[in-house]
Structure 1
């Protein structure tokens, strides 16, 4: 069990620390609260300095499809990495009823999209703190903002990437601060709740059921998933005895089974490329919802059900999209981006393995796709920025950073790298990357250093041109590949 501040600091030392902080505290708390951030170039107010979260314990009570907000309690255990008179949390879409810090009532206010908490006593650097927030969690969408809770035809799911977890629960909403998660979800008996991680108990009382789940690996807030619906949970076994569970609308269980059955072989295929699956379980959540995207929530990827039921989508295409989200479990989930400018490492790799799977399993040539990407790359760089220097999204629109330049544009960088260093070294790099940074965060610079080490030569010039250049460099091994001008230019 985590230790409280009182049990970690001797009483005499605690008194001395508090006494020495009184004058500073009086001055500090008189200043107006302000929103803070960790300085992310794309989302400057996401995350908060001064502490490192160890774990989240989230409790949600869902009363059914009555339009009312969920009742919730969020408990955060964290280390203070500097002296704190206030604790800023990202939280923007719910009502806060009360806050405690280390069991004592704390004052709180809001500033921008931050919940600003003032503990009864200041928190010295190196101390352990437990912040408990009693609040509501509102699924109602804000105009001009997407993400957070997603309404399905029979309940709710989550889609928090990139800046929307704090629309659901108070948190340090930046992937640089990963933590362990415990979920408690209470719903009427006719509903089933499934979250990230493994089940840790079910209790039934007075017509409601409480489902508890825990993660066994740290997770970024944007990867949290809670599904509440009239669902069926389908269990099977993957490679090495890996427990798999899929969540589907109960009425569609048989219809969707052929797709669900593909997951074990897809995991085995990914393991043949990059090594053992990095988490405790996996599965797909097929939601009856209109999100406009699929999402790699950790251990339980979110898909729109219509991807699997729309006859216009070829089988090879659907399977390659399944592999895209699966590959994110290694690239983006286990190895998370240190900043959102590093998102090309997530999406470029997922797109790479999506395309490689289609090449190997459906005879859709990787080289053809990469040549087409090369032709469009200059236009993508102009509209969205270079792969590792994407342009900022419009305020409040999380999907604005997810442009073609960080998908096929970034996969094109990986293709160029394989051309540059050779297939054997490239494959060694991929395995080494997910092994070296498992359960952590990493940067573009980390990838460059590892690639240079494996290749045995300095690749900084290559990466500078391919990741940051306004124009796409010549493709190694394909001097005939040329950028394709936009149609209006071609006509002139």
Structure 2
């Protein structure tokens, strides 16, 4: 995710938190154990994710009624494997009504607790057992536009699920530690176009409606899921190695946006030259006529605000650099996903690094100058939101406040310091090894520290401890003259 830089006039609207809608009927009336939200222990989102099972695949069917303020009818199928014996299991889900739940084909009792859907099957689930869970529910896009999950556009819907909003759309194990394959089946009025992550499958005309199918070829974190429904045009081109590139844009804006869209193949080639082959089956931009306050790296189909490309106050080099930021996330954050949200610096720090490096190499926007400015601000950023790898939790009711300067340029600064410390050649090898070794998986800060030490041929634990966890920013290798702005001097009054 990248917060969109703001010209002086427009006001930013950001994602906020969620509201729960309860479901219940005869099955719920059965005697259930007193359930509660579980979570997998993420310190930043303690109730996110659920223990006891590993999701292998999602199959999500959505029926769009034609108005983006009305609930969608939905059926979410989940294939999972139990990692321990379970009397009941939890899914993350909110902002929709549950109509029925089945486990391995049999009706199951369910009830809601907090933002969890607690399911109790008739028979105990044994460790190693394969589970087929089917939840019939609604998915409600109404409510404040800044709460995450569904984003209402001028002509339909899109998704913005980072960091913890996928379960506002569909029942899930909503944490990036549990990646899975996805199939989407989207039924919408035939006058509209539906798209989703991955490659298109069958498209079925049903008279007034059409059902579109998409499947991912690689596992995906729930926060990276994307579905767009609207009056859209899908534009096709080819990237390096015949990679399919598809862009989804408002139909009326296809010609207007084309000068920007045609830049993607070159940007893909540039990124591959830095870190290796693009990791997924296709790529492209989803340009939404909505004000979100950010751009978002949804897997294979990055979400952008229309006005990023149409507001002439944004210089061309900045727009292109932001495009590369979201593209870089396909390697850093999407293919290699964070094991926990405290590892977010690995996503945003790398995306900001390649954003800055691209601007340096293609537009003469000095990387050194940007990093020197980040160094000056770094102590203030750490004081305001914690160090890069130990960020403070998001503010109550403002989950997007996790995305602070310290995880963007404050974390890119760590990578700059690392390159200064181990040399450019070792740094570039580290980057390639990182995305190759952890492709389609999750990884931690400790994994990165170990690999960096292996490639450098020496223990870098102390270096990373200071740079990633220190209250104060360490001295910059090779730049003894760089200074931080004292925190007290930055405070008003």
Task: Give TM-score, length-normalised by structure 2.
Answer: 0.92
Change (3 A) 1:413 1:206: same
Q: Tell me by how many angstroms 1:206 deviates.
A: 2.3
> Deviation at 1:68?
1.4
Secondary structure at 2:448 match in 1: helix
Gaps of 5+ in 1: 1-27
1:424-439 equivalences in 2 (<5 Å) = 424-439=425-440
Structure with the bigger percentage of helix: 1
**CA distance change for structure 1 residues 240 and 489 in 2, over 3 Å: closer, same or farther?**
closer
Aligned equivalents of 2:488 and 2:326: distance in 1?
Answer: 32
The higher-RCO structure (CA 8 Å, 6+ apart) is 2
Answer whether contact 1:147 1:161 (CA < 8 A) is retained: yes
Cα shift at 1:140: 1.2
Q: How does 1:188-207 map to 2 (within 5 A)?
A: 188-207=189-208
The aligned runs of 1:385-396 (5 Å cut-off) are 385-396=386-397
Q: Is the 8 A contact 1:148 1:168 kept in 2?
A: yes
Aligned to 1:78: 80
Deviations 1:339-382 (A, max 9, x none): 00000000000000000000000000000000000000000000
| In structure 2, C-alpha distance between the alignment counterparts of 1:397 and 1:432, rounded to whole Å | 35
**Alignment check: 8 A CA contact 1:29 1:85 kept:** no
CA distance in 1, matches of 2:491, 2:411: 25
Deviation (angstroms), 1:120: 1.3
Partner of 2:320: 319
Are 2:128 and 1:126 equivalent residues in the alignment?
yes
- Alpha-carbon shift at residue 394 of structure 1 (Å): 2.0
Instruction: Find the residue that maps to 2:248 and give its secondary structure.
Output: strand
Aligned pairs (5 A) from 1:328-343: 328-343=329-344
- Shift of residue 490, structure 1, vs aligned partner: 9.0
The alignment partner of 2:77 has SS state of strand
- Alpha-carbon distance between aligned partners in 2 of 1:102 and 1:399, rounded to the nearest angstrom: 37
> What secondary structure sits across from 1:434 in the alignment?
helix
Who wins on radius of gyration, i.e. which is larger?
Answer: 1
What's the counterpart of residue 250 of structure 1? 251
Matched position secondary structure for 2:141: coil
- Supply the distance in 1 between the matched residues of 2:205 and 2:491 (Cα, whole angstroms): 67
Q: From the superposition, tell whether residues 66 and 453 of structure 1 become closer, same or farther in structure 2 (CA, over 3 Å).
A: closer
Displacement of 1:221 in angstroms is: 0.1
Where structure 2 has 5 or more consecutive residues not aligned to the other structure, the ranges are 1-29
| 1:146 positional shift | 1.8
Number of residue pairs matched by the alignment: 464
Deviation at 1:484, TM superposition (A): 1.5
Q: Give the structure 2 partner of residue 221 of structure 1.
A: 222
Q: Distance in 2 between matches of 1:416 and 1:261?
A: 34
Larger mean Cα displacement after TM superposition, 75-84 or 478-487: 478-487
Contact 1:425 1:454 in 2 (8 A): yes
* Contact 1:93/1:167 (8 A) holds in 2: yes
- Structure-2 separation of matches of 1:470 and 1:431: 30
- 1-structure distance, mates of 2:175, 2:356: 29
Partner of 2:281: 280
Q: Does the 8 Å contact 2:32/2:120 carry over to 1?
A: no
Offset at 1:126? 0.3
| 1:68-107 to 2 correspondences below 5 Å | 68-107=70-109
In the alignment, the residues of structure 1 paired with residue 68 and residue 426 of structure 2 have an alpha-carbon distance, to the nearest angstrom, of 56
Q: Is the 8 A contact 2:62 2:75 kept in 1?
A: yes
Contact 1:239 1:264 in 2 (8 A): yes
Rounded to whole Å, the distance in 2 between the matches of 1:460 and 1:187 is 53
The residue aligned with 1:60 is 62
In 2, Cα distance between the equivalents of 1:252 and 1:307? 13
TM-score normalised by L of structure 1? 0.93
Q: Return the alpha-carbon distance in structure 2 between the equivalents of residues 402 and 490 of structure 1.
A: 21
Q: Equivalences for 1:350-369 in 2 at 5 Å?
A: 350-369=351-370
> How far off its partner does 1:173 sit?
0.2
Say which SS state the counterpart of residue 298 (structure 1) adopts.
Answer: coil
Equivalent position of 1:420 in the other structure:
421
Contact (CA 8 Å) 1:164, 1:398: kept in 2 or not? no
2-structure distance, mates of 1:375, 1:363: 21
Asked if the contact 2:68–2:152 (Cα under 8 Å) also holds between the matched residues in 1, the reply is no
CA contact (8 A) 2:68 2:156 kept: no
Residue 31 of structure 1 aligns with which residue? 33
Deviation per CA, 1:148-189: give whole Å up to 9, x if none: 000000000000000000000000000000000000000001
Check whether the contact 2:349–2:411 (CA below 8 A) recurs between aligned residues.
yes
Aligned-residue offset at 1:395: 3.2
Q: Deviations over 1:393-432 (max 9, x none)?
A: 0234331110000000000000000000000000000000
Q: Residue 220 and residue 66 in structure 1: after superposition, are their counterparts in 2 closer, same or farther (change >3 A)?
A: closer
Aligned match of 1:268: 269
Shift of 1:485: 2.9
Taking a change above 3 Å as real, the CA distance of residues 151 and 66 of structure 1, as seen in their structure-2 partners, is: closer
